[in-house]
Amino acid sequence: MRAVLQRVSSASVSVAGEVVGALDGPGLVVLLGVTHDDGPAEVEWLARKVRDVRILREERSVGDVGAPVLVVSQFTLYGDARKGRRPTWNAAAPGPVSEPVYEAFCAELEKLGVAVERGIFGADMAVSLVNDGPVTLLLETP
């Protein structure tokens, strides 16, 4: 699994012009990519890492301050553009494989006490966010 974490002061995700998930204060936007062999161990590891990584102001974590997380599925995190001019998506798990992993990741965060907002899996989403400083991390499961 791969995740891009962006520290934000606010964020929202819309589908067809309708807001389906939003953060109205400090928190994280997590763009989540799933590959073919991701399972429960990767879900648990990444959810704990997202909760505990100290990238909020004053070196605090989501778990420290109770900040919410907006999770958006993002298969393009597994895009490969090393050859040619068109990226391939071969490393990205197809929807029937990745959607349950996405849902399990969101559920694991909630189980860990994190308030989770979500996009709609597979939808054409418009993500809007206001950065809270230049803080963006790429996480990848071991």
Annotated active-site positions, please?
Answer: 74-76
Residue owning tokens 């929202």: 12
In 3D, which of 125, 122, 124, 127 has the Cα closest to residue 94? Answer: 122
Tokens of 37: 């062999």
